[in-house]
Chain A
Amino acid sequence: MTSYLIKGAKPLGGGPADVLITDGRIAAIGDSLSATGAEVIEAGGLIALPGLVDLHTHLREPGREDAETVETGSRAAALGGFTAVHAMANTDPVADTAGVVEQVWRLGGQAGLVDVVPVGAVTVGLAGERLAELGAMADSAARVRVFSDDGHCVSDPALMRRALEYVKAFDGVVAQHAEEPRLTAGAQMHEGDRSARLGLTGWPAAAEEAIIARDVLLAGHVGARLHVCHVSTAGSVELLRWAKSRGVQVTAEVTPHHLLLTDACAESYDPVFKVNPPLRTDEDVAALRRGLADGTIDAVATDHAPHAVEDKESEWAQARPGMLGLEQALAVVVETMVETGLLDWQGVADRMSMRPAAIGRLAGHGRPLAPGEPANLLLLDPAARVTVDPAALASRSRNSPYAGRELPGRVVATFLRGTPTVLDGKAVR
């Protein structure tokens, strides 16, 4: 196996150091390292971060390979600096059996660009009626620990309670898509001033907050772990802060797009900005950034949701919700959290690697940059500014909400267990 000597990178934004990678692990970190036979990578000015971990990726395979495959999604992830992604269960067929999660897991291994960690459905067919075989998925080769009906809310409180309890047996976690369905029938965008004017049915913040409030009470009651997907409102942040202060084992994620974009984007009626939960207000964005900065929100997760052209090039109401995220996630975090002074590089590593890996119970990811640790890391050029061109993305889909937008930072290299998946900003395969 090739050895690599990364010269002059700044681990977690600290002082320059050399990083030697051998046999898939970090062999040494220090000044003026040398190693015969190692491939040298000049990394002056680049920031070294642990490989990013995404708790929330839609890879669309099996079922919608025209929108994304495990391989194309893995490539997009690697280009974004990720070394592990959780593949959501809302595929066709739904990942609600050991067979399907193992299929996805195997496809990920074959692509070999990131570790693809399947998420198992909470309920059979995401129908919200009865539990899927959670234990079988946990025991499968895919070793599922995160369970989610994402795209749908587990809205039945009794069923949610049982799911929370049941996964305790294998240290699992239920990742809830918090959306009270009766309050969001036909909803198209955030309910507020803009929805009133645009004539698009509103998605009230209360529909998210009501479920979060209920679920933190349930999780506290049964002593189970709860993870809240894509938190989008200031009220949700307040509820999470309260629950954590009470000792509830709740974690939460926020998407890059909820950190950057607002419901003003809907004024174009361009469905590339249609997403669930919807883009919210400036006040919500500010609260989410603060919540991520103070740790109330644990992680950034992309909710990368590729969609075929025909599912987006349509009327707003007919379009499917979701937007691409993997390739721009780190850049958006740099813009919204680092350049604003809300997070330092250590904080970025914590919210995008350490904590999500811990929530997903992934050994080998989210580890410190230290000798002996698996060599999962990325090199970022923080000075670069890149204008997003959807046609140039590795994803099979083009529904990036950042098209034409200039964002800071460029991932120059990504290593998965010592093997480069991205070099010179290009995917190795």
Chain B
Amino acid sequence: MKRHLLESADLDRADATLVLDTAAQIDQALAGREVKKLPTLRGRTVVNLFYEDSTRTRISFELAAKRLSADVINFSAKGSSVSKGESLKDTALTLEAMGSDAIVVRHGASGAPHRLANWVRGSVVNAGDGTHEHPTQALLDAYTIRRRLGRLAGVRVAIVGDVLHSRVARSNVWLLHTLGAEVTVVAPPTLLPVGVGTWPVEVSYDLDAVLPKADVVMMLRVQGERMNASYFPSAREYSRRYGLDGRRMAALGDEAIVMHPGPMNRGMEIAAEVADSVRSTIVEQVGNGVSVRMAVLYLLLGGRSE
């Protein structure tokens, strides 16, 4: 493992598999026990440095660190020195001076975790940067797929929605490719990046054509505001062409699952009957997120093999 987890490309197949295997062992070790805490990272300090509100991701990392007995500091950019204009670098140096062993950073600017990694000695974990990546989300998605379907190699995954602005999509494309899955991105052309042709994916504009062949359908959150910038004409049209409703779900194979990184826009990209169906892994993904983040923190912080 590298010292930081900044993007999916930091993980080769062996590393990514190690993370998933470790998460599985942790899950198994903690299953059914009363004491959900391990002493592994006693005396280590993990800082959650969040420049964007994301309660669910922060709590997931916080729980992961606490279950490994790390000391956790939540450093929200709101209402702190950061909002008074302190630079990312100054904040990094401050956290460094306080002895943080790992910084989990969520930032609205793509590449902010890369910058941070230049300025601190500890590990940096990207918890979502701009429209770039969100690697632990991809790891938990891969983990969820493997638990449900028993494998990743050859699994056909359709990633549907605002790929252009989605860090979840980017991280999943690279990680799932690394792990041998076959990815198709499905979106209106306006919501695919120029240059998507160089990604190791199939590209489709037609959800109905893709669904029958998909083992996994990963629905991305689509913000209604996008229609104001003419990415699509209306929420209704988007939903009609790219939303996953009960009728479309019926086109899926028997074993196929439906994923969503949350938070969902019910009625926009996903219908309530789909989100709440047995195919849906949405609640499971949340739980798996804690295990996967424990695995990541353990592997980054547990110590380095010589």
Q: A residues bordering B, Cβ < 8 Å?
A: 188, 191-202, 204, 268-270, 310, 313-318
Contact = CB atoms under 8 A, between A and B. Distances in A.
Contact of A196 (B107, B108, B133, B198): B198
Interface of B: 87-89, 107-112, 114-115, 129-133, 167, 170, 193-196, 198-199
26 contacts: A192-B194, A192-B195, A193-B195, A194-B195, A195-B193, A196-B195, A197-B170, A197-B195, A198-B111, A199-B129, A199-B133, A199-B167, A268-B114, A269-B110, A269-B111, A269-B112, A310-B87, A313-B87, A313-B89, A315-B107, A315-B112, A315-B115, A316-B111, A317-B109, A317-B110, A318-B109
Contacts of B198: 193, 196
Contacts of B132: 198-200
B114 A269 contact: yes
Given A191-B195, A313-B87, A314-B87, A199 B170 contact: yes
Nearest to B196: A196
Contacts of B193: 195-196, 202
Given A192-B194, A314-B115, A317-B108, 15 more contacts: A191-B195, A195-B194, A195-B195, A196-B193, A196-B195, A196-B196, A197-B195, A199-B111, A199-B167, A202-B194, A313-B89, A314-B88, A315-B107, A315-B112, A316-B109
B96 to A, nearest CB: 15
Nearest to A317: B109
A315 B195 contact: no
A310 B109 CA distance: 16
Contacts of B111: 198-200, 269, 315-316
Residue from B107, B110, B131 whose CB has the most chain A CB atoms within 10 Å = B110
A111 to B, nearest CB: 32
A314 B89 contact: yes
A200 B129 CA distance: 10
Given A199-B129, A314-B87, A315-B107, A269 B195 contact: no
Contacts of A310: 87
A188 B110 CA distance: 10
A198 B110 contact: yes
A195 B110 CA distance: 10
B130 A199 contact: yes
A175 B87 CA distance: 35
Contacts of A315: 88, 107, 109, 111-112, 115
A284 to B, nearest CB: 15
Given A269-B110, A313-B87, A199 B195 contact: no
Contacts of B133: 199
Closest 7 CB pairs of A and B: A269-B111, A199-B132, A196-B195, A196-B193, A315-B109, A199-B131, A193-B195
A200 B111 CA distance: 9
A191 B114 contact: no
Contact of A199 (B88, B110, B196): B110
A195 B195 CA distance: 8
Nearest to B133: A199
B118 to A, nearest CB: 8
A196 B109 CA distance: 15
Contacts of B194: 191-192, 195-196, 202, 204
Residue from A201, A314, A315 whose CB has the most chain B CB atoms within 10 Å = A315
Contacts of B129: 199
